[in-house]
Amino acid sequence: MRSSRRFGLALITSAALATSAGVSMAAATGDPGDGSGPVGDEQIRSHHAPAAKPGDPLNDPAEIGRSGLGLQADQIGRSANVKRAASVAPSGPLADGTGTDIAFQGNKAFVGNYNGFTIFDVSKPSKPKMLAQVLCPGSQNDVSVSGNLLYLSTDSSRSDDSCASTPQPATEKSSWEGIKIFDISDVRNPKYIKSVETACGSHTHTLIPGRSSEFLYVSSYSPNETYPDCKPPHDSISIIEVPKKAPTQAKVVAEPNLFPDGGTPNAGTTGCHDITAYPLKNLAAGACMGDGIILDIKNPAAPKVIERVSDKNFAFWHSATFNNAGTKVIFTDELGGGGAATCNEKTGPERGADAIYDLSKRNKLTFKSYFKISRYQTDDENCVAHNGSLVPVKGKDIMVQSWYMGGTQIWDFTDSAHPKELGYFERGPAAGEDGGGTWSSYYYNGHVYSSDLGKGFDIFKVSGKDFDQAAKVKMDQFNPQSQPYVGKH
């Protein structure tokens, strides 16, 4: 693969969006939030999970049946404690792309899309403002931010590293995939400044902060003997060092093999899907297809696997989240690859679920329980555990999480053996789409933000004393794959 310098950035600012022909500013739609609707062509209705008991926050008298089975195409269902503050529909050159991950900095949200990324001003969450869109195709375009830099993952074989590249087979030696770096010092005019090619591309990446340099752990998988730069076994990650004072000198500095024994037998481990770092404790948790691992990242350029677990009920170890104390890890199983209907009685509660592990002081993992949404979805709804983050509530472990068409879920795992759901927001089957739903749902500074594969950018307000407490915690920056410690309230 070659790494050309023809970046070909296509930038669409908010001013241009408002005036250019055929491209309009995406409208933010407010939700009255009282369960009455309508909002646009959507009817808001409250209902609860089948397991709710009297007194539970989800035990709402407006129940419309067991799970999303009562929802029509694109109709909204939610628990009474979750209200939609705003929605921004896809627009412009990203309208036909797929929504992916989110990162945050100050009062801005950076939302990935298979066609590029969008920057929103969310200083007023009920009225988000689009500041810029960048057209730069290349799945998945997972995004993270640090200071004046934005990192974008490209996990599709491209003709070159520019934003004007076209798809090209991975069997071609000249094909490119990896990390793109943007200067966002002017958020209305991001500038593409550097590319770094990585083996097998960059499906996801994890930011590891440092004093003079920061590091990116690049996860990728699915090697093939016919791919010149992605041959089996590929049991490794790529580590990129980015000098803070000279980011254009970023380069791959290591490719450690995390599974010298090939991983758990018959589990299909060929690299990692996602890694979440907890820098304060010099730890990271990796979801690596057939294995869950704990890494010592004290030396960020030379991580060491210090714990590894497997699970016969897990089909694809997808992502990981620490609790705030660093004493637990949530691993997710993306059964069906995000395209299958697995939130049903046939699949059951232990597959396509979250697995809760306690993490000892010696960094040993002990399985405690599974968690899965209890609202059965239809066969038309792809639904499985996906991306989420913690809510900073002192003394409790609360998480918001995406489940594709299962929606955004809020749940409590303070008792590792007995997790419980606290609330949710979901849409019925996505009309005219083979797959859809929310890719990522994250808590940030008082609100929950969600990136839907096809519907765009949603913002929610969750009521209750725990969320009132969490709203007092303010973060300056948040990349969900690099968890901050929130110790003061």
What does the alpha-carbon distance between residue 438 and residue 450 come to, in Å, rounded to a whole number?
6
Count, residues in the chain: 489
Amino acid (one-letter) located at 298: K
What does the alpha-carbon distance between residue 179 and residue 140 come to, in Å, rounded to a whole number?
11
Domains in the chain, please, with CATH? 69-478 (2.130.10.10)
**What is the reported pLDDT for 25?**
29
**What is the reported pLDDT for 431?**
79
**What is the reported pLDDT for 12?**
61
- Provide the 10 A C-beta neighbour count for residue 2: 11
Averages of pLDDT over each 10 residues, the chain, 489 residues: 48 44 31 33 38 37 41 91 96 94 98 98 98 96 98 97 97 97 98 98 97 97 94 95 98 97 84 96 96 97 98 96 97 96 96 98 98 92 97 97 97 98 94 86 98 97 97 96 80
CA distances from 449 to 178, 244, 410 (A): 26, 29, 12
DSSP, collapsed to helix, strand or coil, labels residue 269 as coil
**What is the reported pLDDT for 264?**
86
Do 39 and 101 meet the contact criterion of CB atoms below 8 Å apart?
A: no
What does the alpha-carbon distance between residue 440 and residue 233 come to, in Å, rounded to a whole number?
29
What does the alpha-carbon distance between residue 391 and residue 468 come to, in Å, rounded to a whole number?
11
